[in-house]
Structure 1
Amino acid sequence: MSESLDLLVFGAHPDDAEIGMGGTIAKHTAAGLKVGICDLTLAEMSSNGTVETRQQEAKAASEALGLTVRTNLQLPDRGLYLLPEYVERIALEIRTWKPRIVFAPYWEDRHPDHIACSKLVQEALFNAKLRRYLPDHPAHTVEESYFYFINDVIEPDVMVDVTGHYESKRSSLLAYRSQFESSGSGAGNHIVRTPLNQGYLERVEARDSLLGQKRAVRYAEGFISKLPYLTELF
């Protein structure tokens, strides 16, 4: 029987979760919470690196963040469509790990796979709680769901101070050398110029720093909720 998770983070590709909320993940694992990442694809269409290299990098990133588990559904990269079988795979992942909170990419982004991942997870979250849907697997209702930013950013509903855990986020991102370094060994020993290896990590850090400035912290990560943020007292 699988171990229940506190947080389950979905991403279209290995490195999506780290870009959007690596600091938040590290903060929660450091506090003793169980956090998992589920990558939908192996990122086999990436211009640089190989599937094998990317998996090794994901393993190193997972160790940097202190994950309890990382899985990969091996759905087709650049083939993430709103298909019932894909929704089913994600819903089963939710039922397997029974997380309290689920995270997915924000539904607006320059990368179509990030948008598709967001839609698929939203469908799966709804289906996972229906007891007559795949009745051989007990239904599970998550307490909350939030959406993190990868490329495109809007004003967040909630932000997390990740200043004390930003070094873990840096380490997790630097693990993906095939994606973020502009020199080295790529496919055919040739690195293809992409937005990711042209100062992308510096821009991610600047984004997190700029958001933190709003509440006088050094680094913060922002999230969107489709439901109002509920609190007992102010």
Structure 2
Amino acid sequence: MNTVDILAFGAHPDDVEIGAGGILAKHVKQGYRVAICNLTEAELSSNGTVERRRMEAKRAAAILGVGQVIDLAFPDRGLGGREQIDKMTQVIRQYKPKVVLAPYFEDRHPDHVACSRMVKEAVFDAGIRKKKTPGDEEAHRVHQLYYYFINDVHPADVIVDISDVYEQKMESILAYQSQFNPKEGEVGTPLNSPTYLAMVRGRDQLWGHQIGSLYGEALKSPTPLKKTSLIEA
């Protein structure tokens, strides 16, 4: 099993692409190894099927250049158990990421909030030497945990310029046709409303504007960010 530089967790397939797809594509382009870990298969989604969502997730990952998609198949709307956190801890120890990404802990969807809390616990547990996991993997300390935004806008601690990969990000989101391009007779949802993708693009433009770029993706840090100097090359 290959280790990765960045491991991005989402409650459902498409969460990571919406909130951090550009960041993942950018780092793949820079030569870093990236993986996505989806906690559920979104089996309770109003539109689409589990099988179709799996295919869409593979397509989206290929568009971003992500080499590994991990499906934990926890129950949709059933997140939060200790066994689940232990499994996530095991994944972190197996892939040994330097950076972990998780949904921001304030969001309209309870699964996004639950995923955020669970990732924080799993990152903490992964570094405890005496903490045992099912595969008895060695402890691993993640260098940095960041939260990305799915449905909302909040003040950022870090904004990454994703202008050069932005259309790649949007293409990865649109790979989820079952969610963003409903067929006749399917159910209307917040995701397939005419305003949702416009919101995502407008939000990314806003964050880009704040750093003098066309597009950006924002991250929040749970702890202060270390600086050795205020002047960087």
TM-score grouping bracket, smaller chain normalisation: over 0.9
**Residue correspondences, number:** 227
Give the gaps of 5 or more residues in structure 2. none
* Residue 193 (structure 1) aligns with: 188
Q: TM-score, normalised by structure 1?
A: 0.95
Taking every aligned residue pair, what percent have the same amino acid on both sides?
A: 49
* Residue 140 (structure 1) aligns with: 140
Structure 2 counterpart SS, 1:197: coil
* Residue 202 (structure 1) aligns with: 198
2:4·2:96 contact (CA, 8 Å) conserved in 1?
yes
* Residue 84 (structure 2) aligns with: 86
Structure 2 counterpart SS, 1:72: strand
Partners of 2:89 and 2:157 lie apart in 1 by 26
Structure 2 counterpart SS, 1:134: coil
Structure 1 counterpart SS, 2:117: helix
* Residue 159 (structure 2) aligns with: 159
Q: Displaced runs of 4+ in structure 1, greater than 6 A?
A: none
Residue among 116, 119, 122 paired with 1:118: 116
* Residue 52 (structure 1) aligns with: 51
2:205 counterpart letter in structure 1: S
Give the C-alpha shift of residue 69 in structure 1. Answer: 0.6
Alignment of 1:63 onto 2:55: no
1:65·1:172 contact (CA, 8 Å) conserved in 2?
yes
Q: TM-score, normalised by structure 2?
A: 0.95
* Residue 224 (structure 1) aligns with: 220
1:197 counterpart letter in structure 2: N
RMSD: 1.0
Alignment of 1:183 onto 2:186: no
Partners of 2:208 and 2:32 lie apart in 1 by 23
2:159·2:211 contact (CA, 8 Å) conserved in 1?
no
Give the C-alpha shift of residue 203 in structure 1. Answer: 1.1
Structure 2 counterpart SS, 1:146: strand
Partners of 1:41 and 1:183 lie apart in 2 by 23
Give the C-alpha shift of residue 52 in structure 1. Answer: 0.5
Deviations 1:145-197 (A, max 9, x none): 1000001221111100000000110110010000011335xxxxx21010100
Deviations 1:24-59 (A, max 9, x none): 100000111000000000000000000001000000
Spell out the pairing of 1:2-21 with structure 2 (5 A cutoff).
2-21=1-20
Structure 1 counterpart SS, 2:191: helix
Partners of 1:102 and 1:54 lie apart in 2 by 23
Partners of 2:67 and 2:189 lie apart in 1 by 31
1:182·1:198 contact (CA, 8 Å) conserved in 2?
no
2:47·2:182 contact (CA, 8 Å) conserved in 1?
no
Give the C-alpha shift of residue 231 in structure 1. Answer: 2.5
Give the C-alpha shift of residue 232 in structure 1. Answer: 2.7
